[in-house]
Structure 1
Amino acid sequence: MLKRLPWTSWTAVVPLVAVVVLTATWHEHLGPALIALQAALLIGAVLAAVQHAEVVAARVGEPFGSLVLAGAVTVIEVALIVELMASGGNEAATLARDTAFAAFMITTNGIAGLSLSWGSRRYGVTLFNAEGSGAALATLTTLATLSLALPAFTISHPGKEFSPGQLIFAAVTSLLLYLLFVFTQTVRHRDFFLPVAQRGQKKLFEEDENHADPPTARSALISLVLLLVALVAVVGLAEQESPAVERLVTAAGFPQTFVGVVIAMLVLLPETLAAVRAARRGRIQTSLNLAYGSAMASIGLTIPAIALASIWLKGPLVLGLAPTQLVLLALTVVISMLTVVPGRATRLQGEVHLVLLAAYVFLAVIP
């Protein structure tokens, strides 16, 4: 049960402080101390934004809650990508691709793997709805293939870029696929995405359902206002922090493509924590909703937004995955299918996904 969030809680204070600091330092030269302060406030604003999204989600109920969280995360992700692409020029040509693929790998292997591992530690075998998770995985696979894999093979434009017509087609189909999935999740087959009780948990699960009162309308409205404030703070702070992120990655000797991994890890950290908490309570389906829903939003909403932004952004927009990334994409899809189809999973499946994530991060640092 989510507690009501008063105006004096950290989730209210941090976004407000972040906006004040942002206003005071706008277009000012930032020293190391201010950069560190803004970085801390940026992370705090991200965590607060998703926490307030959870309150709003608790008011509207599941699976609508997962959509609220995914929407908040996607706004943050698009803001970060656009800001970094605007300041990076040609060097940021692959940023949207790298961030979307990083989100795909972190959600399908990291969030899903952690959730299954934590759930299995408590319940032995985790149970979830194969119909709902399978539909989400099928939609996600289609989105990733159309938006990230195909540009590596098309020949209408040199390099791994879509031609203008192909980019419009990919953006429109991505958005339509995401909306079709949302309709299926919330209207047509909503029961496929509701939590499933684990073995030996039926009584506890029923008590949790019966006694978990949703937040009041007033609490949800306050959280909605604070969510908007937090998103404004994130967008503004992201613009000021973007040069520091790029310098940090360069100073560490990592490839420039690792910036996309940093962005995805930042915006998906709250989702990861929320999914693990749900898994520990036996709500594995909620964890998978968060994992696959966030990945779908990261591709299905981010790609159309970046395609629209490319009208005024300078430089190329490279979406086609590199050969190593294509192999990891294919392997992740196959392993995820084997995990989801039975409708139950053990700790082994979770750890296999975590190994895939570790391989992705390692190869992102040392291509």
Structure 2
Amino acid sequence: MIARCRPTVLHWTVVVPVLSVVVLALTWKRSLPVAVVVVVALFLATAVLAAVHHAEVVAHRVGEPFGSLVLAVSVTVIEVALILTLTADGGPKSAGLARDTVFAAVMITCNGIMGLCLLVGALRRRVAVFHPEGTGAALGSVATLATLSLVLPTFTTSARGPQFSTPQLAFAALASLVLYGLFVATQTFRHRDYFLPVTSAGHVVTDDEHSVPPTTRAALFSLALLAVALIAVVGLAKVEAPTIEHGVAVAGLPSSFVGVVIALLVLLPETIAAVRAAARDRVQTSLNLALGSAMASIGLTIPAVAVASFWMPGPLVLGLGATHMVLLAITVAVGTLTVVPGRATPLQGGLHLALLAAYIVLAISP
């Protein structure tokens, strides 16, 4: 991760979060003309980029694999906040928003980010090299949580439709938190070496020779700006919510496509960071980002929406349809075959990208 150690007051990563909060204050709860909506969208996009930049600064200070964890959790906080704000007043169509967004995040991370990074790493170094122990543990955690939270509700009978009863939802939320906590402990303490980058020559990388780590003062400054940027992102997304939903409706797309838009929005900057790491022969860091984000998306979103469901109107639909369950199953199967050898060729990257393309096509035309 390459980060500025001492950002100046006039640097864009400092100015954008502050200006975004100002724009949020000026546009909150108001009917906006098209020109203003475009301006708000620009500030939203740049605020997301600024948030990820400051997360990278903090991550660079604490090192790997803590760095990937900081970035993944930061992005997931944005995702959870967007889901809750859009669900709060989205009406009946928002009942499945959490499911659609979490599943979109899983497909984008496990197929899009993972496939793109494997492709970039393999094209540059002939093969992309990573630790199968750490990556396999992450993939197994994602598969388990996705099944518990998104597949089982389709087959349970205690509640009508693809949703959990209250005891089942409580179990899914608790299991998500416990398994995510266990994964974080494994990644950062018990088996930290399984998640450290490894070069194509087989050497473990314990630091980043491309830049000097930021000072503690710079990291704390970025941590404060990260919080400001996250507040701006959540608020501006709420301002943009009616436009997103109207745009999806006008385009004739299913209402579930709103979840895809949210996932694409919050994961785009992380995709850039992951591809950048893969281009520097840090494929393990890229996979930490991809699978860590998928894990955080399920492990943090499901408990959050479970708690929020007690005061939010309407049902909480979590169960996937048959088509999406097939996509999830083949993603796990292909991912397992990719991870086991610890080395991947461009073919593996292409397979994952093909699965992402299939998901997007079916999201547009179910």
- Assess same fold via TM > 0.5: yes
SS of the residue aligned with 1:2? coil
Instruction: Indicate whether 1:47 and 2:54 are aligned.
Output: no
Match of 1:232 in 2: 231
Match of 2:89 in 1: 87
The alpha carbon displacement at 1:208 in A equals 6.8
Question: Given the alignment, which residue of 49, 60, 71 partners 1:58?
Answer: 60
User: Counterparts of 1:66 and 1:45 in 2: how far apart (Å)?
Assistant: 19
- Per-residue CA deviations over 1:202-248 (Å, capped at 9, x if unaligned) read 6xx86974564210112111111110110110111111111111000
* Runs of 4+ with >3 A deviation: 205-212
- Per-residue CA deviations over 1:247-296 (Å, capped at 9, x if unaligned) read 00001110000000000000000110000000000000000000000000
Specify every segment of 5 or more residues in structure 1 that has no aligned partner in the other structure, as ranges: none
Q: How does 1:93-112 map to 2 (within 5 A)?
A: 93-112=95-114
Q: How many residues align?
A: 364
Aligned CA distance change for structure 1 residues 286 and 207 (closer, same or farther; 3 Å): closer
Give TM-score scaled by structure 1 length: 0.97
| Higher mean C-alpha deviation, range 290-299 or range 87-96 | 87-96
2:198–2:205 CA contact under 8 A, matched in 1: no
Specify every segment of 5 or more residues in structure 2 that has no aligned partner in the other structure, as ranges: none
- Per-residue CA deviations over 1:63-114 (Å, capped at 9, x if unaligned) read 0111111111111001111111112121111100000000000000000000
User: Counterparts of 1:119 and 1:136 in 2: how far apart (Å)?
Assistant: 19
2:8–2:14 CA contact under 8 A, matched in 1: yes
User: Counterparts of 1:355 and 1:250 in 2: how far apart (Å)?
Assistant: 27
The alpha carbon displacement at 1:149 in A equals 0.5
1:132–1:192 CA contact under 8 A, matched in 2: yes
2:248–2:258 CA contact under 8 A, matched in 1: yes
User: Counterparts of 2:3 and 2:365 in 1: how far apart (Å)?
Assistant: 41
Partner AA of 1:218 in structure 2: R
User: Counterparts of 2:77 and 2:207 in 1: how far apart (Å)?
Assistant: 31
User: Counterparts of 1:47 and 1:306 in 2: how far apart (Å)?
Assistant: 25
User: Counterparts of 2:208 and 2:89 in 1: how far apart (Å)?
Assistant: 48
User: Counterparts of 1:83 and 1:208 in 2: how far apart (Å)?
Assistant: 39
| Higher mean C-alpha deviation, range 237-246 or range 292-301 | 237-246
Partner AA of 1:90 in structure 2: P
Instruction: Indicate whether 1:311 and 2:313 are aligned.
Output: no
Question: Given the alignment, which residue of 137, 140, 150 partners 1:138?
Answer: 140
User: Counterparts of 1:206 and 1:140 in 2: how far apart (Å)?
Assistant: 25
Question: Given the alignment, which residue of 154, 175, 178 partners 1:176?
Answer: 178
Match of 1:128 in 2: 130
User: Counterparts of 2:212 and 2:46 in 1: how far apart (Å)?
Assistant: 27
User: Counterparts of 1:207 and 1:290 in 2: how far apart (Å)?
Assistant: 17
Match of 2:11 in 1: 9
Aligned CA distance change for structure 1 residues 85 and 142 (closer, same or farther; 3 Å): same
Identity %: 63
User: Counterparts of 1:206 and 1:157 in 2: how far apart (Å)?
Assistant: 50
Give TM-score scaled by structure 2 length: 0.97
SS of the residue aligned with 1:94? helix
Aligned CA distance change for structure 1 residues 7 and 78 (closer, same or farther; 3 Å): same
2:63–2:207 CA contact under 8 A, matched in 1: no
1:77–1:264 CA contact under 8 A, matched in 2: yes
Match of 1:186 in 2: 188
Match of 1:195 in 2: 197
Cα-Cα RMSD: 1.4
User: Counterparts of 1:206 and 1:138 in 2: how far apart (Å)?
Assistant: 24
Instruction: Indicate whether 1:286 and 2:285 are aligned.
Output: yes
2:84–2:305 CA contact under 8 A, matched in 1: yes
